[in-house]
Amino acid sequence: MNAGLASIRMQIMWNRLIAVVEEQAQTMIRTAFSTTVREAGDLSAGIFDLRGRMLAQAVTGTPGHVNSMMESVNHFLAKFPAATMRPGDHYITNDPWLGTGHLHDLTVVTPAFRNGAIVGLFANTAHVIDVGGLGNGPDGRSVFEEGLYIPIVKCFDQGRPNETFFDFLRMGSRLPVELEGDVYSLCACNDAGAKRLVRMMDEFAMDGLDPLAEFIFDSSRRATLAEIAKLPGGVFRSEISSDGYEEEVTLRAAMTIGPDEVTVDFAGTSGLSRRGINVPAAYCRAYACFGIKVVVAPDIPNNWASLEPFRMSIPEGCILNAPRPYPVSVRHVVGQLLPDLMMGCLFQAVPDRVTAEGSSCLWNPPLRGGASVSGQARGNQRVLPDFEVITFNSGGTGARRTMDGLDATAFPSGVRTMPVEATENVAPVVFWKKELRPDSGGAGRTQGGFGQIMEIGTKGELEFAVNAIFDRVAHPPKGRDGGGAGAAGEVSLVSGATLRTKGFQVIPDGERLLLKLPGGGGMGDPKSRDPALVARDVRDGLVSAERAFAAYGLTMGKEIDDAL
């Protein structure tokens, strides 16, 4: 076979491999118990060679999961070398420092065998609703308060469940059936990938994955280096602030663009927190690499080699390099600001490719009710049945150079917004309002995406609790190139009382939780925006007449009528 045909054959097999891992991910979505997986897609799936290098990832999934998982497989191999693995084995952990950064993510690794020989490894990660402890919130003072801590262990040994493991798992959660079901789902998902891989290898008469792996890695590395070489060299600095927990947090980055690598130094970043907003280093690398890659090399598939030229220096003692056993439960609140931080650096090098800052951090209210909130005895007052649920929601993304930002869309996490009906179906909660938030998108030539307004209560208007994990309230998303900031987030009761943005709080009887999610920042001079677009938003109720005049210089009456 000549070189050209051999290259085409390799490319076809590469595409097939991506289809294999996408089927792996879809199997998890179809079989998961947790709404976080089946409704929001908070997961990752991928295939690795026997050296622990990621060959391909599913299209479905989040950067925080998949890029952290890329590192975690090596930890599994260090404890259970590939030569010791047997068909039907499944290995699991939720160790934040060996996985994706907090205890609510389970990572499962499974060997794939063909003709009795191990040929590769499948791995996946999924966010589960409850692993005991204080729940998914920032109040813990060490990781040991945050939930059940699972080291790397076998959950299935040659197809047989590890009953001791499952006994501990069930007893450590408020939702034992859901948690056990999710573990079975993760294992089934890897099994589906392994079966599909064997069929692929049979079809292409492949003895192993090594030749394909080298083709993938060589092609990806060369393509990434070619894109880096197009960038202007130099050192570019940026900073961004988070609301923090007890005090604000500042993230600083110095990005050095060289001829064959991009390095980031986080010196000057705030120190560690006493609460669970700390970020393990792997999660920092995951989102920082993603923030660089979507600007520098967005069209190159994500794998070990395409990420390798992006290097991080994360000082010890800073909030982005939390050591064990610091609390890390809501590491995403700080970690999901990292792509905006990276774009702050890259805006100075390639401004046409970068977006304005967005709401960035997910607004996921973990809700709880029942005896653990209200107590066992309350006279004649009814108490909700025990429940624990989390719903995924997002504000607006930052404006792009030639297009508006996206409304109520998760970036950088990429998870889907959960339908309110799915949440109401599994918990006694009611979403009284869920709509776009007017005037929340930052003004600009291109406008920031709109946030949303959510009003949440319970059936019977009985008290419940929220474990607040919100950000972008004191520090709204900034615009770029003259664009305005997006609206800051707000957390309150419907009656008007302001709530803390982080931490466990009870919503009293007859009250409802009111969330106003941030909007994305704008891009460019607002006065240069197309008047027809401003008039359209006024007509649709997304921009008020007052804002149309103040931000865009457009007045009601004939001027808007003419624009329409």
Query: What are the pLDDT tens digits along the chain (564 aa)?
Result: 687 888 999 999 999 999 999 999 999 999 999 999 999 999 999 999 999 999 999 998 899 999 999 999 999 999 999 999 999 999 999 999 999 999 999 999 999 999 999 999 999 999 999 999 999 999 999 999 999 999 999 999 999 999 999 999 999 999 999 999 999 999 999 999 999 999 999 999 999 999 999 999 999 999 999 999 999 999 999 999 999 999 999 999 999 999 999 999 999 999 999 999 999 999 999 999 999 999 999 999 999 999 999 999 999 999 999 999 999 999 999 999 999 999 999 999 999 999 999 999 999 999 999 988 988 656 667 788 999 999 999 999 999 999 999 999 999 999 999 999 999 999 999 999 999 999 999 999 999 999 999 999 999 999 999 999 999 999 999 999 999 999 999 999 999 999 999 999 999 999 999 999 999 999 999 999 999 999 999 999 999 999 999 999 987 665 666 655
- In this predicted structure, what is the pLDDT of residue 524? 98
- What kind of fold does domain 3-208 have according to CATH? Beta-Lactamase (3.30.450)
- In this predicted structure, what is the pLDDT of residue 60? 87
58: CB partners within 8 A, 6+ apart: 18, 21, 22, 24, 25, 44, 45, 46, 66
- In this predicted structure, what is the pLDDT of residue 54? 97
Q: Which residues of 518-539 are buried (b: 16+ CB within 10 A; e: fewer)?
A: bbbbbbbebeebebebbbebbe
290: CB partners within 8 A, 6+ apart: 63, 67, 338, 339, 412
Q: Give the predicted TM-score (pTM) of the model.
A: 0.96
- In this predicted structure, what is the pLDDT of residue 208? 95
Residue 496: exposed, middle, or buried by beta-carbon count in 10 A (0-12, 13-18, 19+)?
exposed
Return the domain boundaries, the chain.
3-208, 231-352, 355-437+447-522
Q: What CA–CA distance (Å, rounded) separates 35 from 182?
A: 10
- In this predicted structure, what is the pLDDT of residue 372? 84
Backbone angles phi, psi at 374, to 5 degrees: -95, -10
Q: What CA–CA distance (Å, rounded) separates 470 from 516?
A: 11
- In this predicted structure, what is the pLDDT of residue 558? 58
377: CB partners within 8 A, 6+ apart: none
Instruction: Give the HSE-up count for residue 3: Cα atoms under 13 Å, Cβ half-sphere.
Output: 1
